[in-house]
Each structure stands twice: as C-alpha cells, then as structure tokens.
Amino acid sequence: MSAKMLGFDPERLTRIDDWMVRNREGGRYHGSSLLVLRGGEEVHASFDGMMSVNRGLPFQRDTIVRIYSMTKIVTSVVLGMLVERGLVHLEAPVSAFLPSFGEARRLVPGAERDDQTEPCAVPSLAQLLTHSSGLTYSFNPGLAARIYEREKVDFGPRMGVLADMCDRAAAQPLAFRPGTKWEYSIGIDVIGRVIEVITGQPLDRVFREMVFDPLGMVDTAFSVPASKVGRFADCYQKTDEDPRALLDPGDDSSFSEARVTMFSGGGGLCSTLDDYARFGEMLRRGGELGGERLLSPSTLAFMRRNFLSGDIASMGAESFMEMPMAGMGFGIGGAVLLDPALARMPGSVGDFGWGGMASTYFWTDPVKDLTVVFLTQLVPSSSYPSRVELKALVHGALIG
C-alpha cells in the first residue's frame, strides 16, 4: 500500500531523509536508520551514512545496534506477562523477591554524607518500574548518584552478574522516600533480577522464550555473536574534543558474545530496525503479533496509563530524562504523552515509547496507529533534540 493511501504525503516524508542527511553532514551522527509503520503497513524506511567509518560499512536495514534503555520496555512487558499469570503483583515490595532490599534507608533531605540516612518503606515493584523508587543512576545529579559512582553500581555488559550487582545496589541509600519523586534509575535492572527469581531462569533465556522467539525477533539479544559482527554498528560519543569520537567498535565491542556477563534489563539489549518494530507492533496491536499473544489488550492498556500523580515535571524531577518532562507521564516501563502542548512536541495523547543512551528512539501511537523506530549510535542521547524533531517530521507528513 502506498504512503498516500496510508495517509501520508510522500513528498513531506522525504523531509525525514533530508533531516537524516543533515544530521550526518552537520556532524551529529555518522549514520542512522528509520522505519515508520501505520496499521502494520510500511509507510517509510530510510537509511543514511555509515554504521562504521573505520570498517567502511553503511547503515542498513539489518544493522545491529545497542538499544540501551529501549530494553526497559521489554523487561516491563515480561513482568506484565508474569502479573497476568498470577505470579506477582505490582504493589509487592522488591524485598519479597530480593531479600537484600529488606532494610531500606533513604538519604535525609539536604544530606551531605552517605551516613545521613533514615529508615523508609521498601520500594514496590511498581515504583521500580516507574522510576519513583528512590534508586538512581551514577550519571544523575546529587549525593546518591555520587555514591553509586564510588561504589561502582553499574549494570554494564561486563560488570559481573545481575544478582551480585542488585545486592550491591541494595546496600546503598535511596535518594528519596519511595513514591515521592521521579528519578531515572536502575529500577528496571532490578526488575530483571526479580524476573529471574520468579522464573528460575537467567534473563537472557526468559527474554528469548517469552518474547523474542514468539515475535520472530531473530537479531535481538544481550550480545552479538561472531557470525553477526559484520552487521554490528560502531558506537560513538560526543565529547568536547570530538563530536563523534569512537566509543565502542562493533568488531571489538563490550557487547561481543564472549565478553558479556551482565543481563541488564535496563539497558543491555542489541537489536535491529525490523526486530524492534515487531516489538513495537505487538504493543500497538494490544499485545499480539502474528497470532502470538504476549499480553491481553486490557493489561497492555493498563501498562500504558500514567502511573504518576501528575506529569514527570510535577514530581520534582532533576535527573537525566530522554524526553520532555512537562506534559509527559510514565507508565510501566515507558513514557506516556499526556499533553502535547505542555510537552512542546507533536503527538497524540497516549503515545507510548522510550529511547536509549545511544540516541535511539521509538514510539507507538494508538490514536494514529503508528509505530516509529529510529536508530543511530551516539552517546549521550541528550546531545541533540532529535526525538522532538523526528516527531514533528512524522506528524508533519501525516495528512489523513
């Protein structure tokens, strides 16, 4: 079916291609790819530039990239599947599964030392999923983040194993009393370990059996095998000295199959354009794709609701955020657009999606029946306003 028949202006869609070229020629990214689907039909696909400058390899449809925090929604879907089976409920304290979290303490307001703490409630699984648990990341502002940095609370691919790192995280004070603020965090990494405890299986096997195999996601995993390294992109980093400095070469990567020890439910997966689009389509279609049902429509609608008391901005957020905070809520594992005007970003109320540290991004739109996936490889994702620009481009081409 043509783009025009799917409600898009073909000429306006070429603006997306021009934008991707400008990103490359202007020094933002070495390469990128994009896929737009409407009602499951391909509207537009675009591939530009290089996935590896050193190896002379172009960015293509089957290029494998690090999706980092786009892993979070996969982890959240798996937990939702376990909720549907009656194996867990969202208000359960994390200590019911991980006893090391049993004696929670939080930093007192204005704390200047890590011993300035007081007892508090143990975070619930819902709070971990929605970044309102008091956990944090080492790159956030504040004392708790500095403690994480010092104690090496890091779920990187070569940072040991998930169980041990969760115990290390549990030994650190929470940044705030659970449920009172929003701070981007390792919460969904901890959920990954909860999933392992519930299922009795390592997270990579759980993901493969419960999500990847049913959806036909053949190139999505926590590592890249040697047979696929030729399709694995280099990752770059924006620095003061070089806007596209090589960070992690695809042919000698921390994500190579022989090196990965950590199954990070918050940021460990690698994937491709079509693989992740299949996952996005499952979300858009209410939990089913190709006759394989992962979640009921009711459960998925529940997960896509805003679980915060207001938008993220109203929760006193000071941490890193890959999307606007005003007009944006947070559901189970992903951001929910509450008010496009407040967010200063075109979209439909109920848009649901998230991005990754290497500037990747996806969203599904239940109103316009859209699934959009954008892939590139530049850290950090806050380097450029690409996500807001992309949403404007896609909605600017949508005419019916």
Q: Say what angle helices 162-170 and 187-199 make with each other, to 10 degrees.
A: 130
CATH number of the domain at 214, please.
3.40.710.10
Residues 219, 155 share a domain: no
CB contact burial 337-371 (16+ within 10 A = b; e otherwise): bbebeebebbbbebbbbbbbbbbbbbbbbbebbbb
Residues 229, 175 share a domain: no
Whether 5 maps to a domain, the answer reads no
Whether 346 maps to a domain, the answer reads yes
Q: How much is the pLDDT for 322?
A: 60
28, 341, 350, 351 from 329: Cα distances, Å: 28, 14, 9, 10
> Which regions in the chain score pLDDT beneath 50?
none
pTM recorded for the entire structure? 0.97
Q: How much is the pLDDT for 282?
A: 98
Q: How much is the pLDDT for 220?
A: 98
Q: Are 381 and 355 within 8 A, CB to CB?
A: yes
Residues 389, 249 share a domain: yes
Q: How many domains does the chain have?
A: 2
Residues 325, 277 share a domain: yes
Residues 341, 225 share a domain: yes
Single residue among 199, 233, 265 that ends a domain in this structure: 199
Q: Residue 400 and residue 92: Cα distance in Å, rounded?
A: 44
Of the candidates 91, 79, 102, 70, the one whose C-alpha atom is nearest the C-alpha of residue 194 is 79
Backbone angles phi, psi at 59, to 5 degrees: -75, 120
Single residue among 150, 169, 199 that ends a domain in this structure: 199
Single residue among 175, 199, 223 that ends a domain in this structure: 199
Instruction: Tokens for 383, please give them.
Output: 């380097």
Of the candidates 10, 18, 12, the one whose C-alpha atom is nearest the C-alpha of residue 48 is 18
CATH number of the domain at 92, please.
1.20.58
Q: How much is the pLDDT for 36?
A: 98
Backbone angles phi, psi at 48, to 5 degrees: -140, 145
Q: How much is the pLDDT for 318?
A: 74
Q: How far is CA 8 from the centre of its chain?
A: 27
- Contacts (Cβ under 8 Å, ≥6 apart) of 156: 254, 262, 264
Whether 357 maps to a domain, the answer reads yes
Residues 75, 93 share a domain: no
Q: How much is the pLDDT for 319?
A: 67
Whether 387 maps to a domain, the answer reads yes
Residues linked to residue 361 through DSSP beta bridges, in sequence order: 355, 374
Residues 169, 21 share a domain: no
Q: What DSSP letter does each residue of 298-334 carry, written as one string?
A: HHHHHHTS--SSS-GGGGT--S--SS-STTEEE-SSS
Q: Can you give the residue range of the structural domain that contains 184?
A: 88-199
- Contacts (Cβ under 8 Å, ≥6 apart) of 314: 308
Residues 372, 313 share a domain: yes
Whether 3 maps to a domain, the answer reads no
